[in-house]
Amino acid sequence: MKIIVDENIAFATEAFSQFGNVELVHGRKINNQVVRDADVLIVRSITKVSKELLQNTKVKFVGTATIGSDHIDKDYLSANNIIFTDAKGCNAFAVVEYFLAALFKLLSSENKNVKDLSIGIIGVGDIGSKIENVATALGMKTFLSDPPLKRKSNDPKFLEIEKLFQADIITLHTPLTYSGVDKTFHLLDYEKLSAMKNGTIIINTSRGEVVDNKVLNELIVEKQFKVILDVWENEPNINLELLQKVKIGTPHIAGYSLEGKTNGTKIIYDALSDFCNAEKIWEPILPDVIDNVIESNSISVAKILNQIFDRIYDVEQDSDNLKNIFSTESKNVAQHFDELRKNYPMRREFNNYFISMKKEDEEVKSILNAIRIKTIRK
């Protein structure tokens, strides 16, 4: 069995060599010729899986080690009896942790208290619901919009999207869809961005095309938006003018924790094992996190959280690395964007860490519990 795997998928050789010959290929170089003799194709979001890619090939199983599947023509796969699986939920905690690190980096630079802010969450699935839980623990006023969930549950907590536009923060956690009643392509267009109040913090970790980047670039200064973008239209050829204007801009790495990547591989491995009727013998073993106790003498939520983010995940470094494109004349933006993703440093999730405090404040403990950080007494 020949298995083509995106070279950036964690533990690819270790996991999939059980089933046959594994060939690692750059995701943007996977084409029809590459997969012509393959039986299995395992990709990430940068590879468009369509008739053009798969026609006249032997591929009978496609997996994507990502939570999104807008890059997959599932109708074509179904019509051609090709089994498909995605990795829903694999890196949800990593995205939540990115959201928090980026938000608190921005708030600390402006000396704002998170308790004084309201948040509008667009898309309340696996990630959005986790954001809601953390925001509630932080004492924020939350507003939710999710039309499919509204129709399914008839729960009045789900509001029309326009009802969210007076919130201090708007965060997006939707899939990318191009048609239908729940179309999310350019969900935030000129009309909706104009309706938001001046100074809104806009955070997008879903898909770049959910926000009209051209319009956002036109309005960001006029509306005094404070923008955090991990995803962009036309990746990897992103809008450099917009990159210069955002507070934090990163190369689609919000979910790039080691745990998130490994979970994605494991989900696809299990599905391929089922497809091949094979025993599931591969279990990932992650390195222990050493020096994982963070000492704190503060009972201030903001100070403790910023201390955590500085120690565990400095999102500003990721932003600085992307913005270095402006001082690196030898690279084009697409090359720079992809190299940052390929060579992304190891990042571990918060549940590997402990906070050591002299006094266990119940509010602080509740918040730390919401982000999966354990407390210990000094």
Helix (H, G, I), strand (E, B) or coil at 266: helix
Six token digits for residue 126: 């696996």
Q: Which position among 252, 336, 347, 348 bears the catalytic label?
A: 252
Q: What is the pLDDT of residue 111?
A: 85
CA distances from 73 to 49, 83, 248 (A): 6, 12, 32
Task: Give the whole-angstrom CA distance, residue 189 versus residue 198.
Answer: 16
Q: What is the pLDDT of residue 378?
A: 67
Domains in the chain (CATH in brackets) are 2-86+256-276 (3.40.50.720), 92-249 (3.40.50.720), 293-377 (3.30.1370.170)
Nearest CA among 1, 35, 43 for reference residue 18: 1
Q: What is the pLDDT of residue 191?
A: 98
What is the full per-residue pLDDT of the chain (378 aa) written as tens digits?
999 999 999 999 999 999 999 999 999 999 999 999 999 999 999 999 999 999 999 999 999 999 989 999 999 999 999 999 999 999 999 999 999 999 999 999 888 999 999 999 999 999 999 999 999 999 999 999 999 999 999 999 999 999 999 999 999 999 999 999 999 999 999 999 999 999 999 999 999 999 999 999 999 999 999 999 999 999 999 999 999 999 999 999 999 999 999 999 999 999 999 999 999 999 999 999 999 999 988 777 888 898 899 999 999 999 999 999 988 665 689 999 999 999 999 999 999 999 998 776 788 888 999 999 988 876
pTM: 0.95
Q: Which position among 71, 173, 207, 341 bears the catalytic label?
A: 207
Six token digits for residue 342: 């390929």
List phi, psi (to 5°) of 376.
Answer: -135, 150
Q: Is 97 a catalytic residue?
A: no
H-state helical runs in the chain = 12-16, 32-35, 51-54, 74-79, 92-109, 126-137, 147-153, 190-195, 213-219, 240-245, 258-276, 301-312, 315-323, 333-342, 362-370
Task: Give the whole-angstrom CA distance, residue 66 versus residue 239.
Answer: 24
Task: Give the whole-angstrom CA distance, residue 154 versus residue 81.
Answer: 36
Nearest CA among 212, 205, 28 for reference residue 125: 205
Q: Is 235 a catalytic residue?
A: yes
Q: Which position among 235, 259, 316, 349 bears the catalytic label?
A: 235
Q: Please calculate the CA angle 137-140-143 and round it to the nearest 5 degrees.
A: 110
Q: What is the pLDDT of residue 358?
A: 76
CB 368, CB 374: distance < 8 Å: yes
The side-by-side arrangement of strands in the sheet containing 354-357 is: 293-296, 354-357, 374-377
